[in-house]
Amino acid sequence: MTGKLYIVGTPIGNLGDITLRALETLKEVDLVACEDTRVTAKLLTRYEIKKSLVSIHQHSKVSKLDKVVQELENGKNVALVTDAGTPGISDPGNQLVAEAIKNNIEVTPIPGVSALTTILSVAGIDTQKFIFLGFPPHKKGRVTFFKEVLQSKIPVVFFESTHRIIKNLELLAVIASEAKQSLDKKNKIATSSSTSRNDIRVIIGKELTKMFEEVIRGNIQEALEYLKNDPAKQKGEFVIIVY
């Protein structure tokens, strides 16, 4: 009889944000597949859970996935977790899920937190419809990515890291300005009388659920100025809504 693969949501920062069902599952499975064993070990230690860990990340070879699938086929139950949040959302967890499905192994979700739903819950805007784009490309495709963000008629959510938060917000501002100028020229409207692209607003969640949690609201220029004025505020993990 094959085992089950449990997709377990874990905290995005505050270790108290884990469900009772997630803890029960982690205690009962035979093996925990995770991104970084050091990060997961810290969570398990907090709740006095001792389990064998195997690392599954975006650079894992197929043989690593096959090994976990083999354990499942041998009847062992496996929990898949990510470093923070819900597996499969902007992380490589979907690869193991795909392999499990391909091999007729039952996959069970154990819902938990996500930075995506966390920022949406405090946005205070209409989120009946939105687009999630994950992380922007590091190099090739960055301009295309942010053009897509600005062209959207509904809110767009994406993740950003401490290393690129300023650079990418600046790029977003430049593309918005260029789009405004192009529209002005096309319509032969004087820049002074046209709609300013300062109407592009952002909601930035910084270090959500952690000690230095902050939600920044305003137009893109205001957000840039706020972050640039204090380098300390540029540190951490970010989730951004553009609307």
- Residue-wise pLDDT tens digits, 107-138: 999 999 999 999 999 999 999 999 999 999 99
pLDDT, tens digit, for every residue of 17-71? 999 999 999 999 999 999 999 999 999 999 999 999 999 877 667 788 999 999 9
Angle at 130 (CA atoms; ends 123, 120), nearest 5 degrees: 25
Predicted TM-score (pTM) of this structure: 0.88
* Same domain assignment for residues 66 and 124: no
Q: Reading across the β-sheet that carries 78-80, which strands appear in turn? A: 52-55, 31-34, 78-80, 5-8, 107-110
pLDDT digits (tens, 9 = 90+) for 140-157: 999 999 999 999 999 999
* Structure token digits, residue 137: 């490309």
Last residue of a domain, one of 92, 113, 134: 113
- Does 120 share its domain with 107? no
pLDDT at 196 over 50: no
69, 106 Cβ separation under 8 angstroms: no
Predicted local distance difference test score (pLDDT) of residue 183: 64
| Nearest in space to 90 (alpha carbons), one of 34, 133, 124 | 133
Let me know: does 19 contact 81? Beta carbons within 8 Å: no
Q: Residue 75 is part of a domain; what is its CATH number?
A: 3.40.1010.10
**pLDDT at position 92, please?**
80
How far, in Å, CA of 92 to CA of 132, rounded?
Answer: 16
Which tokens is 185 given?
Answer: 């020229």
Residue 83, domain extent: 5-113
Tell me: do 196 and 78 sit in the same domain: no
Mean pLDDT of 194-209: 79
What single DSSP character describes residue 208? T
Question: How many domains does the chain fold into?
Answer: 2
Helix or strand run (H / E) with residue 214: strand 214-219
Are 138 and 44 within one domain?
no
User: What's the pLDDT band for 175 if we cut at 50, 70, 90?
Assistant: very high
Q: Which residue has the tokens 């220029």?
A: 221
* Residue 21 DSSP SS3: helix
Domain check: are 145 and 183 in the same one? yes
Q: Output the pLDDT for position 226.
A: 97
Q: What does the mean pLDDT of the chain come to?
A: 92
Report pLDDT for 73: 97
Among the three residues 67, 83, 113, which one is the final residue of a domain in this structure?
Answer: 113
- Does residue 75 share a domain with residue 51? yes
CA dist., res. 150 & res. 24, Å (int): 43
